[in-house]
Amino acid sequence: MTAASELSFFASADGEIAYLDAGTGDPVVLLHAGYIDHRLYAAQTPVLAADHRVLAVDIRGHGWTANATKPFRWADDLADLLRHLDVGPAVVAGVSMGGAIAGDMAIEYPELVRGIVLSGASVSDFQYTHEATRKVVAESRRALESGDIEGWLKVFLGSAAGPFRSPDELDPRILDHLRDMALHTIAKHTPGERNWHVPMTDTWARVPKIDVPVLTVNGSLDSPDLLADAERFARTARDGRSVLVEGTSHFPNLERPEEFNALVLEFLRGL
């Protein structure tokens, strides 16, 4: 696991943004899912860093990055970081929330992006329609708002298994890894605090303008509506393709790291 001493920090206009900087070569940015941090990519960072410069970022309010104190957008934070580092254009890859941010980057800052990888994600204003998944999202929100951290954690770990499995069917090491990251990020926040994030809207209308290569990598056992929208994203972008990782759900990079890594490396070689 990464220690805080191994991280670098960028002094943004609203607190420090933490990131792991490893390797040399063409830049690859890794963006984690919600409630966790850059350690999601423990099995990806060293593999990709063998031939690339990897920046595994803690998104605002997560991991070792500062909480927001004023309105912000995910893509703006990342653009500020890349410009500060004089890095780009970069391949931006993300899982879940991180994948949505990758898409936002390609829409808002095309000059900083040379390709995107979305896993367990589509557009950033995606809304679940699958009944079981919507129930999980609502339970998660209620638990967080009431300060029931144990209840929220149970729901969160259940969502990692997807709507068709129980957490008991996942490798317990995956659950422990997610639990450690989630508890670290949740400890940074208090129930009922203001959410300063400003979401992007009407993203589907802008996806056809994305002219960099797009790869969507999704677990076959993830929510059906998310899978459909990820495939739609790949079809709608000018140069996109969609791949399923069988037998996995929302975190194929954790469940099948070697297969996930191979797909990403193949994508990188094709650019």
Query: Is residue 8 domain-shared with residue 59, that is, in the same domain?
Result: yes
Query: Is residue 39 domain-shared with residue 153, that is, in the same domain?
Result: no
Please work out, in degrees rounded to the nearest 5, the angle formed at the alpha carbon of residue 24 by the alpha carbons of 18 and 27. 65
Over residues 114-141, mean pLDDT: 86
Confidence of residue 138 (pLDDT cuts 50, 70, 90): confident
Chain position carrying tokens 């990758």? 102
Is pLDDT of 3 > 70? Answer: no
Is pLDDT of 2 > 60? Answer: no
CB 33 within 8 A of CB 98: yes
Query: Is residue 103 domain-shared with residue 120, that is, in the same domain?
Result: yes
Query: Is residue 248 domain-shared with residue 161, that is, in the same domain?
Result: no
pLDDT digits over 181-197, tens only? 999 999 999 988 999 99
* Residue 210: C-alpha distances to residues 106, 107, 200, 249 (Å): 6, 6, 15, 26
Structural domain includes residue 253: yes
Rounded distance between C-alpha atoms, residue 116 and residue 36, angstroms: 21
Structural domain includes residue 57: yes
Among residues 56, 82, 66, which one has the least CA distance to residue 17? 66
> Where a domain ends, among 165, 186, 207?
186
Confidence of residue 221 (pLDDT cuts 50, 70, 90): very high
Is pLDDT of 97 > 80? Answer: yes
Query: Is residue 141 domain-shared with residue 239, that is, in the same domain?
Result: no
Query: Is residue 136 domain-shared with residue 120, that is, in the same domain?
Result: no
Structural domain includes residue 8: yes
At 86, phi and psi to the nearest 5?
A: 55, 45
Q: The domain that contains 246 carries what CATH number?
A: 3.40.50.1820
Structural domain includes residue 191: no
Over residues 16-36, mean pLDDT: 97
Tell me which amino acid residue 155 is: V
Beta-strand pair 8-12/15-22:
antiparallel
Query: Is residue 83 domain-shared with residue 204, that is, in the same domain?
Result: yes
pLDDT digits over 55-77, tens only? 999 999 999 999 999 999 999 99
Give the residue numbers spanning the domain of 150.
131-186
Query: Is residue 162 domain-shared with residue 145, that is, in the same domain?
Result: yes
Confidence of residue 136 (pLDDT cuts 50, 70, 90): confident
Confidence of residue 92 (pLDDT cuts 50, 70, 90): very high
Please work out, in degrees rounded to the nearest 5, the angle formed at the alpha carbon of residue 147 by the alpha carbons of 146 and 148. 95
Query: Is residue 116 domain-shared with residue 148, that is, in the same domain?
Result: no
Is pLDDT of 248 > 80? Answer: yes
Query: Is residue 119 domain-shared with residue 136, that is, in the same domain?
Result: no
Structural domain includes residue 192: no
Confidence of residue 176 (pLDDT cuts 50, 70, 90): very high
Structural domain includes residue 37: yes
Query: Is residue 60 domain-shared with residue 9, that is, in the same domain?
Result: yes
Is pLDDT of 144 > 80? Answer: no
Structural domain includes residue 111: yes
Adjacent-strand bridge partners of 240: 214
Number of residues that make up the chain: 271
Structural domain includes residue 17: yes
Query: Number of structural domains, the chain?
Result: 2
Average pLDDT, the chain: 94
Exposure letters 121-155 (e unless 16+ CB within 10 A, then b): bbbbebebebeebeebeebbeebbeeeebeebbeb
Is pLDDT of 1 > 70? Answer: no
Query: Is residue 110 domain-shared with residue 215, that is, in the same domain?
Result: yes
Confidence of residue 131 (pLDDT cuts 50, 70, 90): confident
If you average pLDDT over each of 114-118, 126-130, 158-162, which comes out highest?
114-118
DSSP secondary structure code for residue 247 in this structure = T
CB 262 within 8 A of CB 235: no
Adjacent-strand bridge partners of 164: none
